[in-house]
């Protein structure tokens, strides 16, 4: 059975699968990479939810593993370690759509970073980047079906009331951009994928936790950073995610490393390999 480890740095609670990590002294990396062994009836989506990971993230970290029939006693990499995304200020919520992950930075006396996987806008319905504010918290929100969606699905009513079939889930955060909400979902298998019309979706257990920790006026910064890099303990690490928008991630990694003053400390072959693999795992690219 897969059981999340408990350490001084990161706490993963099965059934309450938020992840909270002490804010790092170097401001760079949180969490610990983990592994588990599958049971006969396990699938990667089930393991992902158990560890509060999104679907694409766990699939990318385990190339060659059948997501739905991985096999019994298969060793699975849990991508539960993250380089914090760059943002103008690490204040409030930062969402990196390239890795499909939300970060809640320390506030109101908190000393921890909370992080949750998210589902985001599908191709052509991309979640916009930018800086916004939470303007309202809504419990048991009705879904006012947009006209654009009703044209695609004319069988839908104008309003879907709260309940188990409501795609808004049990809670929603309305942002200053009226086209975007952060909300729960009735389709947990979509977390960690591009499947919405632009909104940001969380597992129900995660939106309940986030909802209780944030309030109107909080900043929400949305970025698109498929490559992240940091210096850690004298080493240089990168984390590469495949957002599928055709960018040359090796070139992007080189630009980022140069901007951070780290280019002279890396092995270019290792950087190229990490950019090709796009595993979402932290990769040490330091020179020997």
The catalytic residues are: 183, 199
| Structural contact between residues 68 and 43, judged by C-beta atoms closer than 8 angstroms | yes
Per DSSP, the residues of 59-116 read HHTSTT--SS---TT-EEEE--EEEPPP-SS--SEEEETTTTEEEE---TT--EEEEE
Q: How far apart are CA 146 and CA 179, in angstroms?
A: 10
| Structural contact between residues 129 and 222, judged by C-beta atoms closer than 8 angstroms | yes
CB atoms within 10 A of CB 209: 19
Q: How far apart are CA 207 and CA 202, in angstroms?
A: 6
| Structural contact between residues 210 and 116, judged by C-beta atoms closer than 8 angstroms | yes
Q: Quickly tell me which residue has 């090709």 as its tokens.
A: 276
First to last CA, the chain: 37
């Amino acid at each position: 059975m897969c059981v999340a480890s408990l350490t001084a740095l990161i706490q993963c609670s099965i059934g309450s699968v938020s992840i909270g990590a002490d804010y790092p002294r170097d401001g760079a990396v949180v969490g610990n990479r983990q592994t588990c062994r599958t049971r006969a009836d396990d699938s990667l989506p089930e393991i992902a939810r158990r560890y509060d990971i999104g679907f694409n993230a766990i699939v990318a970290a385990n190339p060659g593993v059948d997501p739905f029939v991985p096999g019994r006693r298969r060793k699975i990499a849990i991508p539960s370690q993250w380089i914090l995304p760059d943002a103008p200020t690490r204040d409030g919520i930062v969402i990196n759509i390239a890795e499909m992950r939300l970060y809640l930075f320390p506030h109101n006396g908190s000393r921890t970073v909370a992080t949750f996987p998210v589902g985001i806008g599908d191709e052509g319905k991309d979640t916009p980047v930018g800086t916004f504010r939470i303007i309202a918290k809504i419990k048991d929100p009705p879904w006012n079906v947009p006209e654009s969606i009703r044209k695609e699905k004319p069988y839908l009513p104008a309003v879907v009331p709260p309940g188990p079939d409501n795609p808004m889930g049990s809670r929603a955060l309305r942002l200053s951009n009226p086209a975007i909400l952060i909300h729960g979902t009735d389709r947990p298998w979509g977390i960690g994928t591009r499947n919405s019309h632009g909104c940001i979706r969380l597992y129900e257990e995660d939106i309940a936790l986030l909802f209780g920790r944030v309030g109107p006026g909080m900043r929400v910064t949305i970025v698109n950073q498929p490559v992240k890099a940091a210096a850690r303990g004298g080493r240089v690490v990168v984390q590469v995610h495949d957002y599928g928008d055709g960018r040359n991630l090796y070139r992007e990694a080189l630009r980022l490393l140069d901007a951070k003053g780290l280019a002279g400390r890396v092995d270019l072959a290792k950087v190229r390999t990490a950019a090709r693999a796009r595993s979402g795992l932290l990769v040490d690219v330091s020179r020997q």
